[in-house]
Amino acid sequence: MIDYRDLTYDELQDYLVKIGEKKFRTKQIFKWIHRGVEEFHEMTDLSIALREKLKDNGYICNMEVETKQESANDGTVKYLMHLKDGNLIECVLMRYSYGNSICISTQAGCSMGCSFCASTIGGKNKDLTGGEMIGQILKVQRDAGVKVSNIVLMGSGEPLDNLENVLRFFKIINYPEGINIGMRHITLSTCGLVPEILNLADMNLQITLAISLHAPNDEIRKGLMPIANKYSYEELINACNYYIEKTNKRITFEYALIDEINDRLEHAKELSMRLKGLLCHVNLIPINKVKERKYEKSQKTRIEEFKQVLLLNGIETTVRRELGSDIDAACGQLRRSYRTES
């Protein structure tokens, strides 16, 4: 059976023709699907016979809100969604002055093994389909009664380890008759899969690429992120250079500051040397404490000093606002706590 949310506009059109419908129905049905209907009877301007036919030939891959946590401080809402196949995934709605942003998951769990991250503790359960990525947006929009204008692929999972489905997702949400969010409003975050970064560069998609760097050198990075054993720091930075050259887009480097592990001033100096001259932005993130992990957040003064070193070296740097710090907003934490409690 086919999941209608997982079809591009052209695929839906071919499908409708195949089941004996007229092409012009595509626009009408695509609009309904991406407006977030969960049942065919909600498509009120279609005949009952057509609604039945759609139902007989496919389904809308809904997900249910298993639980949600709302921050009292800033309105951030973290959702734990229950997929039809039993998997639990997380996504987060963040409200900014410029609009609503959603952070979505691209996999249930993750196999990358970063030592500070809760998503990876149980390994990867599965790659999400494009329809399941779209489902997170539609469910949150429906539940919160808002329209989302920015998307970040920074929830559970490694998007470049599920690139085919991610590209399908981009194609579907880009479509004017659907969710209609352009590439410039999408950020994809990766732990640094070099061949896929090179691939993305060649596609010149105009998304913002964020690289989880978290270290100033190979030695520290290897201690935090197993992927560093596969691709060296140098290879990663070279791939970033290639990406910038091909796309003319600034890269964001994410750097989670962990007390005494990667937050010393000598680390800031080394990082500055590495990134000098690169069209980039560094986002310093005070690490979120994860119950199962030993790492501690850096001191506030240390974070500020670290930032100053980068700025003095001409590297554009900001400290990420800690949205939702009163809820389990860090990657994989809600799913984890739910799993261990139930």
Q: What are phi and psi of 308, to 5 degrees?
A: -60, -40
State the SS3 of 184-236. HHEEEEECCCHHHHHHHHHHCCCCEEEEECCCCCHHHHHHHCCHHHHCCHHHH
Angle at which helix 163-174 crosses helix 194-203, to 10 degrees, equals 30
Token couple for 336:
């984890």
Name the residues that contact ligand SAH, by CB under 6 A: 112, 114, 116-117, 154, 158, 189-191, 212, 254, 256, 285, 287-288, 290, 330-331
The CB-of-58 to ligand SAH minimum distance in angstroms stands at 30
Give the DSSP letter of residue 250.
P
The CB-of-116 to ligand SAH minimum distance in angstroms stands at 5
Enclosing H/E stretch for 12: helix 9-18
The CB-of-43 to ligand SAH minimum distance in angstroms stands at 35
Position of tokens 């091909």?
Answer: 246
Position of tokens 């399941």?
Answer: 132
| CA–CA gap between residue 265 and residue 241 (Å, rounded) | 25
The CB-of-7 to ligand SAH minimum distance in angstroms stands at 26
Angle at which helix 265-275 crosses helix 300-312, to 10 degrees, equals 30
- Pairing relationship of beta strands 317-319 and 148-153 according to DSSP bridges: unpaired
Q: Which is nearer to ligand SAH, 111 or 238 (CB)?
A: 111
Catalytic status, residue 90 = yes
- Residue (of 234, 237, 186) closest to 211 by Cα position: 237
Q: Which is nearer to ligand SAH, 175 or 338 (CB)?
A: 338
Q: Which is nearer to ligand SAH, 174 or 262 (CB)?
A: 262
| CA–CA gap between residue 333 and residue 320 (Å, rounded) | 19
Q: Which is nearer to ligand SAH, 63 or 104 (CB)?
A: 104
Options 61, 90, 114, 117, the catalytic residue: 90
Options 61, 91, 240, 331, the catalytic residue: 331
The SS3 call for residue 168 is: helix
Q: Which is nearer to ligand SAH, 77 or 285 (CB)?
A: 285
The CB-of-294 to ligand SAH minimum distance in angstroms stands at 12
Catalytic status, residue 331 = yes
Q: Which is nearer to ligand SAH, 58 or 157 (CB)?
A: 157
The CB-of-188 to ligand SAH minimum distance in angstroms stands at 8
| CA–CA gap between residue 305 and residue 303 (Å, rounded) | 6
Q: Which is nearer to ligand SAH, 116 or 233 (CB)?
A: 116
| CA–CA gap between residue 194 and residue 209 (Å, rounded) | 13
The CB-of-225 to ligand SAH minimum distance in angstroms stands at 8
CA 6 to chain centre: 17
Positions marked catalytic: 90, 331
